A and B are shown apart, each in its own frame.
Chain A
Amino acid sequence: GEDVEQSLFLSVREGDSSVINCTYTDSSSTYLYWYKQEPGAGLQLLTYIFSNMDMKQDQRLTVLLNKKDKHLSLRIADTQTGDSAIYFCAESISGYSGGGADGLTFGKGTHLIIQP
């Protein structure tokens, strides 16, 4: 079966880089996602990476994928107070953007805490 794991908390100082890590177990994943959720809000798609890529950069965000180790990371450069949120890693299987037999499988989320 599939499982996605993330650390529950990460604390960083404002201006530093944040690195949020995620491991997944299903080797047939096709897309891997990062979503951001602020209190009381829905999920905001930050970025996604196709499984045949190993890196994707989008402004302050860098996604690294190590398919051999089934490890995904999200780096946020120059972390700001507005980055404070829960970050979810998710995997999609079977090439369906909405998910395969079980939809997207999400991690429990990492609470990013910004220290002034």
Chain B
Amino acid sequence: KAGVTQTPRYLIKTRGQQVTLSCSPISGHRSVSWYQQTPGQGLQFLFEYFSETQRNKGNFPGRFSGRQFSNSRSEMNVSTLELGDSALYLCASSLEPGGNTGELFFGEGSRLTVL
């Protein structure tokens, strides 16, 4: 069974550009959540999607957005990139939100560098 797949693994952008990151959850998982990891702030929750609907959102500006498709794949987008957006962006999948499995699996992440 394939794990959580994130693409691209690495990318470099310049300030002001926008970026789209992709996440394919584990087969059968319908919930996808996104986290940002930086040395200073650690791991912070961005948002969670289930059945193509955003269920929860963390404390990030509106430049950060996402969506989920009918096949449960998810994308997140960051517009007008700032230097501080340089981070490892991690996607996690689980069977369902509110489920009682407690199992939340992460991908390898997409490492974004903003110059």
A interface, size bucket: 20 to 34
B interface, size bucket: 20 to 34
| Docked CA distance A105–B42 (Å) | 10
- Choose from B58, B98, B107 the contact partner of A103 (Cβ within 8 Å): B58
B residues in contact with A31, CB < 8 Å = 102
| Docked CA distance A12–B97 (Å) | 37
Contact A103 B45 (CB under 8 A): yes
Q: Which residues of chain A (38-74) have a CB below 8 Å from chain B?
A: 41-45, 48-50
The answer to whether the Cβ of B112 comes within 8 Å of any Cβ in the partner chain is no
A residues in contact with B50, CB < 8 Å = 98
Q: Which residues of chain B (70-115) have a CB below 8 Å from chain A?
A: 90, 92, 94-109
Asked, given contacts A41-B108, A43-B90, A88-B43, whether A99 binds B48 with beta carbons under 8 Å apart, the answer is yes
A residues in contact with B102, CB < 8 Å = 31, 33, 48-50, 92, 97
Asked, given contacts A44-B106, A45-B103, A45-B105, whether A102 binds B58 with beta carbons under 8 Å apart, the answer is yes
B residues in contact with A100, CB < 8 Å = 56
- Choose from A41, A43, A95, A97 the contact partner of B103 (Cβ within 8 Å): A97
Contact B106 A95 (CB under 8 A): no
B residues in contact with A49, CB < 8 Å = 102
CB-defined interface of B1-12 with A at 8 Å, one 1/0 digit per residue? 000101000000
Contact A104 B90 (CB under 8 A): no
The answer to whether the Cβ of B31 comes within 8 Å of any Cβ in the partner chain is yes
A residues in contact with B97, CB < 8 Å = 96-98
Q: Which residues of chain A (72-108) have a CB below 8 Å from chain B?
A: 88, 90, 92, 94-108
12 extra interface residue pairs, beta carbon distance < 8 Å, beyond A102-B58, A103-B58: A31-B102, A33-B102, A43-B90, A43-B106, A96-B56, A97-B96, A97-B98, A97-B104, A100-B56, A102-B56, A102-B59, A103-B33
Binding site for B on A (CB under 8 A): 31, 33, 35, 41-45, 48-50, 88, 90, 92, 94-109
